Amino acid sequence: MNNYCHCCLLMLWARAMRAIITDPRIIKDVMDQRDSNPHQISGKDFDRVFFSKCAWAVYTAGIKFKMVENKWKAIEEAFLHWDYQQVCRNEDNVRTAALSVVKNIRKANATIKIAQWMCETGWVTIRKRLLDGLTQDGLGNFVPGHELIAYLDERPMIGETNAIFLAKMIGYDLAKPDILLKRLATKFGYPPNKNGVQQLATDISQLVLQRISVVETVLWNACNSKKDDLGFKCPTCGKEY
Ligand SMILES: [Zn+2]
């Protein structure tokens, strides 16, 4: 635990919870995150789930996730309900279908490339890499092996931030250092980078006894909600944010 003001971090948590508590979609998201853990990778058909999560990371990169969410059903259909082997066999048709939903050739090609990588590498090998070096800390957080982020980062159009996001979606306790969370971390005196965001989520996680990825999900959604700018004057120490 760092020596950041505990009272202010608790106050931030309370404000963030208040900002999201009336939105059933976000609450479901938080609950799902709580149940999520990397061992789910071994479950039946998780290879397709993994492909869909990669596609989500590619399609949400650089645009508002709501825009992708609205088109997600159609994107799913274009990519043959995440049957990556079929995607590899019908590359041209899939590309045409994907472009008719979202006119972005780079995103369509990147997603097809990920399907090809999955076909060539094989799910058993990929699954092993995704779980390689997994540890769990005393608070129940799932910590990835050292090389996981670099491994995911090698995929087309993924990049480090999205690799962290992908690892979180698989069930690891990582905080995605996107612009909103970097801004929030800076506001509370943390470094404006992935380490700062991870530390902010970790510190709150220890105060409120929730997993890091759950804390991150609450904070990110709170930052996204228009109702609240999460600014406050701490009633305990008087600091203003
Ligand atoms: Zn305070």
Condensed to tens digits (0 to 9), the pLDDT of residues 79-133 reads 999 999 999 999 999 999 999 999 999 999 999 999 999 999 999 999 999 999 9
**What does the pLDDT read at residue 63?**
86
Q: Please tell me the distance between residue 10's alpha carbon and the centre of ligand 1 in angstroms.
A: 8
Q: Please tell me the distance between residue 239's alpha carbon and the centre of ligand 1 in angstroms.
A: 6
Ranges in the chain, pLDDT < 50: none
Q: Please tell me the distance between residue 165's alpha carbon and the centre of ligand 1 in angstroms.
A: 30
| Full-model pTM | 0.89
**What does the pLDDT read at residue 225?**
85
**What does the pLDDT read at residue 2?**
57
**What does the pLDDT read at residue 1?**
53
Tell me the domains of the chain and their CATH numbers: 6-36+175-224 (no CATH), 42-170 (1.10.340.30)
Q: Please tell me the distance between residue 218's alpha carbon and the centre of ligand 1 in angstroms.
A: 20
Q: Please tell me the distance between residue 103's alpha carbon and the centre of ligand 1 in angstroms.
A: 47
Q: Please tell me the distance between residue 176's alpha carbon and the centre of ligand 1 in angstroms.
A: 25
Q: Which residues is 135 bridged to in the sheet?
A: 143
Q: Please tell me the distance between residue 196's alpha carbon and the centre of ligand 1 in angstroms.
A: 19
Q: What is 134-160 written as a DSSP string?
A: -EE-TTS-EE--TTHHHHHHTSTTTHH
Q: Please tell me the distance between residue 200's alpha carbon and the centre of ligand 1 in angstroms.
A: 15
CB < 8 Å & 24+ apart, contacts of 155-159: 155/54, 155/110, 155/113, 155/114, 155/117, 156/58, 156/109, 156/110, 156/113, 156/114, 157/58, 157/61, 157/106, 157/107, 157/110, 158/54, 158/57, 158/58, 159/61
Q: Please tell me the distance between residue 67's alpha carbon and the centre of ligand 1 in angstroms.
A: 37
Residue indicated by tokens 């997603």? 111
Q: Please tell me the distance between residue 8's alpha carbon and the centre of ligand 1 in angstroms.
A: 4
How far does the chain reach from its first CA to its final CA, in angstroms? 21
Q: Which amino acid is at 114?
A: I
Q: Please tell me the distance between residue 9's alpha carbon and the centre of ligand 1 in angstroms.
A: 7
Residue indicated by tokens 């939105």? 23
